[in-house]
Amino acid sequence: MRVPTVRRVNVVGIAAIFAIVLLGAACGYSPSSNSSGTTLQTGGADAPLSEEATAGQAAFDQQCAACHTIGGGPLVGPDLAGITDLRATDWLHSWIIDPAAFAETDPDAEAIFTGGMPALGLSDAETDEVIAYLESTSEVEGSSAAPEGPRDLSAVEFDEASEIFFNRCAGCHGTLRAGATGPAIQPEDRTLEIGTTGIETILTKGLPGGMPAWGDAGILTEGEIDLLANFIQLDPPTPPPLDLTQITESWNLVVPVADRPTESQTARDWEDFTGVILRDAGQVAIIDAGTKETVAVIDTGFAVHILRSSATGRYFIAVGRDGRVTMIDLWTETPEIVAQVQGCFDARSVEASKVEGFEDKYIIEGCYWPPQYVVFDGQTLEPLVVHDILSPDINGKELDEVRVAAIVASHFDPVWVMGLKESGYVGIVDYSQPDFPLVKKIEADLFLHDGGWDHTGRYFITAANAQNKLMVIDVKTQELVAGIETGKVPHPGRGANWQDPEFGWVYATTHIGEGKLTLIGADPEGNPEHAWKVVREVEIPGTGSLFLKTHPESQWVWMDTALSNVEGENQQACVYSIEKMEMEKCFQVADHGTVVHFEYNKAGDEVWISVWDRDGEVVIYDDETLTEKHRITGDWLITPTGKFNVFNTANDIY
Ligand code: DHE
């Protein structure tokens, strides 16, 4: 029997982050279940199992045991002891094959379907084997003990657990655990009901829908899992605020402007430098895309997330998960840090002022925590202002946490445009006004995440990924123009723009939750009948992708299959042909790690790809022939993720 495999993460973060998106859809958690226990048991009948039941047991252990026990009490899903006495075989079959679809046709299924249990992808035969195994356990009695609640944590343990939560969980579940990309995991609505054993099992084994197996992957120790399992059943600590005075205290002007060169000191083409994030090393490598030489490896701080370029390209600005912003000067002989500051405790986005007259003048940082944005001087990072962004969401629901997601800078107006994740608004900050106010909040949809410009730079397109939509904002008129369903959890990165032979200009995204490239018409003037509608859907192997990229000079669109749950499939890249309007090919980039994120060189004739692993690589392909041209390796190349070419990033070429 073929049992679909659940790939385990091997680098900190990958599915750790994105696939966790699907955690909410991972298991059939039945809140009405009242039988519970403390021991994890996945079987129990003494009689020898039939061949069918034996195969079913293997499938159960692999696909179901993270959520269900048989006689051990509920985990995320109910204890399945005696389930075959309760439900007919046909009923169970339909439920296991696709609970959501079954719930639409069967009232009993509808009554218990919480949206939690996913279709596991089992064939009819495999499903029958699982049912045969469940039948073989029909003598086992369910446990009725109450879930084991949390133990008291000492102050030291609580602090340690808070830190683990912040590093591993807060990105998806929110600092206050109210959910966003992942589901809410607050004590009252989830974790107390699951109990310590259940949570430990989930943290160790992951969930079929994508929650990473932190324990099995060797990322969290048993001790850390114990701490975390108890911690998330206790009320979350209120994270501290960070005001302008504190931010200013963190400011370190390493090289004053007067001491910096007034023209470039390097003989290299610094506009063709590519910054490579070395995520777990807390570093950024600067590589000369022309010679492929590593020009500098710079310590920037904890889990650097992205780089952006100042308008002229002279400065790289890095932002890390610790909220630290680092400014790197590329005009010195060797690139070096000229200023650093911490505007948030947790952050993912940073951007520069880009409109004419404001080049290299200001920098904005969007915080995950506290709910605020901070504006800095664009030469020194001196903090200028902090603005609170906490507000009710677009439906009027009061919130305790609103995170700044993607930020883009207009090339036409002195504004930054940013997704306000939990509240579902897109905010517009006018940096030509004193005090850098949030001048407009446009209703979009909930849980805004990443996004970028259309080919004209007039429309900001951002994923409301919990709604499976791309939202289109006309930044000129400051209005929402469309919300388009594209597939399961769209994840455009900044997206990709090109001219489709049939539909003219399009913008595209791949998806975290399914193997699909979706193109939407993005030419409201030339092709109004197709504008902001899905015009093409192309299947990608695997079950999820993170990033895609193209270039005005290219005839290809590159994308990863990083979230595939098929062994090895996460190590390939796929290339879509713009001319042929179909997938050209997918091929293996590495035999280790996870292949992720694409960037072009300045000329647009090479594509750079990261192999995200402790033994990381950056693999460079000739964009015309699609053949490998160069492979950068080395002990220092630890967990490369995002790559940002100076010219392309400063000019928003994607
Ligand atoms: Fe990212 C962009 C948030 C996990 C690599 N990521 C972004 C942006 C946001 C974001 C809001 C858009 C920034 C902008 O344009 O201003 N990312 C988050 C998360 O909340 C999430 C899901 C969980 C977390 O805890 O961080 C997350 N991101 C990841 C990863 O696991 C990745 C693959 C590796 C890493 O760094 O941890 C990752 N994110 C990236 C990259 C970009 C990015 C490379 C920029 C793409 C681009 O081409 O611009």
pLDDT value of residue 71: 87
Give the residue with greater pLDDT, 148 vs 498: 498
Instruction: Find the DSSP H helices in 70-123.
Output: 83-86, 89-97, 99-105, 107-112
pLDDT value of residue 303: 87
Best mutation site among 306, 598, 599, 609 for ligand 1 pocket (most ligand atoms within 8 Å of CB): 306
Residue 491 near residue 450, CB atoms below 8 Å: yes
Mean pLDDT value across residues 289-300: 98
Query: For residue 358, what are its two tokens?
Result: 């404001």
Best mutation site among 181, 450, 465 for ligand 1 pocket (most ligand atoms within 8 Å of CB): 450
Question: Cβ–Cβ contacts within 10 Å for residue 599, how many?
Answer: 26
pLDDT value of residue 189: 77
* 581 noted as active-site residue: no
Query: For residue 464, what are its two tokens?
Result: 């409301």
Question: Where is average pLDDT lowest: 101-110, 125-134, 452-461, 572-581?
Answer: 101-110
H/E/C letters for each residue in 414-432?
A: CEEEEEECCCCEEEEEECC
Query: For residue 144, what are its two tokens?
Result: 């009725």
List the Cα angle 217/27/59 in 5-degree steps. 65
pLDDT digits (tens, 9 = 90+) for 418-463: 999 999 999 999 999 999 999 999 999 999 999 999 999 999 999 9
Q: What is the rounded CA–CA span in Å between residue 483 and residue 465?
A: 11
Q: What secondary structure does DSSP assign to 339-377, as a single string?
A: EEEE--SEEEEEEE--STT-TTTEEEEEEEESSEEEEEE
Please, which pLDDT band fits residue 8 given cuts at 50, 70 and 90?
A: very low
pLDDT digits (tens, 9 = 90+) for 475-510: 999 999 999 999 999 999 999 999 999 999 999 999
pLDDT value of residue 218: 81
* 27 noted as active-site residue: no
* 172 noted as active-site residue: yes
Pocket of ligand 1 (CB under 6 A): 13, 17-18, 171-172, 181, 279, 305-306, 348-349, 405-407, 449-450, 493-494, 546, 596-597, 641-642
User: 119 CA distance to ligand 1 centroid (A)?
Assistant: 27
> Which residues lie across from 440 on neighbouring strands?
428
Q: Which atom of ligand 1 is nearest to the CA of 403?
A: 11
Mean pLDDT value across residues 624-637: 98
Residue 538 near residue 487, CB atoms below 8 Å: no
Task: Tell me the pLDDT of the chain averaged across its residues.
Answer: 89
Q: What is the rounded CA–CA span in Å between residue 480 and residue 459?
A: 9
pLDDT at residue 10 greater than cutoff 50 = no
Q: Which protein residue's CA is at the shortest distance from atom 4 of ligand 1?
A: 17
Question: Where is average pLDDT lowest: 233-242, 266-275, 366-375, 643-652?
Answer: 233-242
User: 304 CA distance to ligand 1 centroid (A)?
Assistant: 10
Please, which pLDDT band fits residue 384 given cuts at 50, 70 and 90?
A: very high
Q: Pick the catalytic residue: 64, 169, 367, 559? A: 169
Q: What is the rounded CA–CA span in Å between residue 614 and residue 523?
A: 42
pLDDT digits (tens, 9 = 90+) for 504-542: 999 999 999 899 999 999 999 999 999 999 999 999 999
Please, which pLDDT band fits residue 468 given cuts at 50, 70 and 90?
A: very high
pLDDT value of residue 17: 42
pLDDT value of residue 459: 98
Q: What secondary structure does DSSP assign to 33-83, as a single string?
A: -----SS--B----SPPPHHHHHHHHHIIIIITTT--BSS--SSS---TTH
Q: Pick the catalytic residue: 68, 305, 449, 597? A: 449
Please, which pLDDT band fits residue 46 given cuts at 50, 70 and 90?
A: low
